[in-house]
Every structure is written in structure tokens, then in C-alpha cells.
Amino acid sequence: QVMLVESGGGSVQSGGSLRLSCAASGSADSRYCMAWFRQAPGKEREGVAIINRDGITRYADSVKGRFTISQDGSENTLYLQMNSLKPEDTAMYYCAARTTTCSVYSLAVTALFRYWGQGTQVTVST
């Protein structure tokens, strides 16, 4: 069982920055991949960034060069540093974990992630 709690969302102007955090319970060894997803009103949930136990990362094309996913040394906190934010980044952001064999290409398949946080809202205004 993995519990995930996100924090750090808020409202920011275009071009600003935010850092999201996700506190994860349980052993880090049980979490093969950790990822951030987002869902805007009326749209499907989409993968934003993923990191596996080897530290390999993958990003959605829309956020490459602007967002950075990372974990703390204990791997119990996941971060998403978001810079140069745009209005189209406005969405509810969710932390997710996969506890079985995982490829960073799993970012493309929401259903592969069994554990989800409650989400944190990010709003970017012009």
C-alpha cells in the first residue's frame, strides 16, 4: 500500500515558477516508478514527468526544458520544479506510483499506475 500526498500548488502569473511536492509512504524499494500527471477541465489526464528507481527521467514534450522531476535522498518525497509556466499548464496535478516493473515509457499509460494522490491545483494566469 502506498499513500501519496501532494502539496505546493497555487496561482502564479505566466512565466513564474512553482515546486510541487509529493510525500510517499512505505518503502521506496516498493516504488519502481514515480510520476506526475495533470488533468485540465474537459481534458484527459496526461503524463507530465516520470522517474524510475535508477533515476532515469522522461518528460512530456510540452514541458521539456521547463519542468524537472526529482526525488530526495530517501526517495520518500517526489518533486516537480516548474519554471516558465504558461496558462496551458493550468490543471490539477497528481502524483502517482507504480509498484511493479516499470519503464519510463509508462508515462504514456495512466492505467499502469495503481496509486494516486488527491491532487494539487496549479493555475497560471496571463
- Each residue's pLDDT expressed in tens, for the chain with a length of 126 residues: 899 999 999 999 999 999 999 999 988 778 889 999 999 999 999 999 999 989 999 999 999 999 999 998 787 999 999 999 999 999 999 999 999 988 899 888 999 999 999 999 999 999
Which pLDDT score, from 0 to 100, does residue 27 have?
A: 81
Which pLDDT score, from 0 to 100, does residue 126 have?
A: 94
Which pLDDT score, from 0 to 100, does residue 26 have?
A: 82
Rounded distance between C-alpha atoms, residue 60 and residue 76, angstroms: 23
DSSP states of the chain:
---EEEE--EEEETT--EEEEEEE-S-GGG-SEEEEEEE-TTS--EEEEEEETT--EEE-TTTTTTEEEEE-TTS-EEEEEE-S--GGG-EEEEEEEE-S---GGGGG-GGG--EE---EEEEEE-
